[in-house]
């Protein structure tokens, strides 16, 4: 007569394989959450930077001098914090180029602290031309 069932060794092997699989899954889960958080920060910073750039383009060449103050008329800058989103900061710099009536603009959005006094940031550049009306 044949006995039907599993031996103790078979049960222990299956239990070992299952525990290794569960440990792997348990280690991957937090990594996925961390990645999701990083992607959210990056996406928010991207949208904020694009919003600043669009406002600069909308206001035009002459508004750069007043919105982002300049001492000599050749370079201006300003920094600030987004009121609605704590931990996100912006910086805008502009300078005149060698071509008359053309300014280069740099926008930075700082979002994640890397080290003490150091943050990750995204950066955009654009050019604004003075339009004669």
**Cα distance from N-terminal residue to C-terminal residue, the chain:** 103
Could you report the per-residue pLDDT of 88-128, keeping only the tens digit for each?
999 999 999 999 999 999 999 999 877 777 789 999 999 99
Could you report the per-residue pLDDT of 44-71, keeping only the tens digit for each?
999 999 999 999 999 999 999 889 988 8
pTM here is 0.75
SS3 103: strand
Using a CB cutoff of 8 Å and minimum separation of 24, what contacts does 86-91 make?
A: 87/111, 87/112, 87/113, 88/44, 88/45, 88/48, 89/119, 90/48, 90/49, 90/52
């Amino acid at each position: 007569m044949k006995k039907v069932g599993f031996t103790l060794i078979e049960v222990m092997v299956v239990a070992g394989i299952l525990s290794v699989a569960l440990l792997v899954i348990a280690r991957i889960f937090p990594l996925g959450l961390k990645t999701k958080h990083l992607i959210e920060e990056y996406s928010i910073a991207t949208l904020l930077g694009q919003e600043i750039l669009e406002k600069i383009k909308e206001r035009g060449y002459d508004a750069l001098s007043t919105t982002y103050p300049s001492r000599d008329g050749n370079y201006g800058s300003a920094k600030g914090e987004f009121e609605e989103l704590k931990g996100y900061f912006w910086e805008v710099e502009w300078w005149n180029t060698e071509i008359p009536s053309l300014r280069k603009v740099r926008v930075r959005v700082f979002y994640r602290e890397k080290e003490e006094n150091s943050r990750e940031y995204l950066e955009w550049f654009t050019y604004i031309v003075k339009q004669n009306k």
